[in-house]
Amino acid sequence: MNIILFEKGERHFDCKDERFLHIKKVLHMGVGDSFHGGEINGWEGKCRIENFDSDGLDFAFTPVSDTSALHPLTMIVAQVRPICMKRILREAVSLGVGRLILPISDLGEKSYASASLYTEGEYKSILLDGAMQSGKTGVSECLVVKSVEEAIEKAGEGERLLLDNVIGSSPLSSLDLKNMSVILAIGPERGWSERERKLFLSSSFSPVLIGDRILRTETAAVAAPSVALSRMGLL
């Protein structure tokens, strides 16, 4: 953890909380010590431990600066194996991706949709973990949806890009995306179906490539936003 995040108004960590355990076992802190912390999607600053015992700890927070800003990049990422999606979510928020939309796709494994990561909001703790790794307070918005149609509907306005090795022609690295909001769609391991490709194209998505190699979704979902953010002048 490069920053310890908490809800607005939260000033106590229970002894079973991983943040308490990190402060105790990794940082080796006690009463009077200070750690780098911040309110989720708010200000970061100095946290001074005021009480520390076997039940948990209490701290006072002195805000210093607002580091909650995220980049105007929305990623549509088809639902994949939960262990892979956890890596994608952590890396996305670490990169500062503003929004993530996770649809069920035609060719994706349908059983993944019933995993607790997608159905019980488990993704929220994964995003929080990624934000604490980044050292910033901003946590990406994440929507779990039932179809690509719904994902497109909720994507909003921006330069629409479809990562696709089948019909993609323009290298993502060649685009000038400065001062733009960008929506980037990345498919499952088996790729997008023809129906989905037609749907994206009819919704003003331009097919792009990030090379001539076929990448795993978890690799593409890190490489592609990195390239996009670079072309946006943000990385």
CA gap 155, 199 in Å, rounded: 14
Same domain, yes or no, for 31 and 90?
no
Domain boundary among 21, 49, 66: 66
Same domain, yes or no, for 90 and 13?
no
CATH code where residue 29 lies: 2.40.240.20
Q: What is the pTM of this model?
A: 0.93
Same domain, yes or no, for 170 and 211?
yes
pLDDT tens per residue, range 196-214: 999 999 999 999 999 888 8
Domain count, the chain: 2
Same domain, yes or no, for 166 and 195?
yes
Closest to 75 in 3D by CA, of 150, 133, 161: 161
Same domain, yes or no, for 95 and 47?
no
CA gap 52, 217 in Å, rounded: 44
Same domain, yes or no, for 110 and 216?
yes
Closest to 42 in 3D by CA, of 174, 114, 137: 137
pLDDT tens per residue, range 42-80: 999 999 999 999 999 999 999 999 999 999 999 999 999
Q: Which two tokens stand for residue 34?
A: 């200070």
> How is 215-235 classified by DSSP, letter by letter?
PPHHHHHHHHHHHHHHHTT--
Same domain, yes or no, for 110 and 21?
no
> Residue 1 has what pLDDT?
86
- Among 31-40, 116-125, 145-154, 198-207, which is the least confidently predicted range? 116-125
Same domain, yes or no, for 126 and 42?
no
Same domain, yes or no, for 48 and 78?
no
Residues above pLDDT 90, as percent of the chain: 91
pLDDT of 224 > 90? The answer is yes
Residues above pLDDT 70, as percent of the chain: 100
pLDDT of 158 > 90? The answer is yes
CATH code where residue 214 lies: 3.40.1280.10
> 204 and 158 in contact (C-beta within 8 Å)?
no
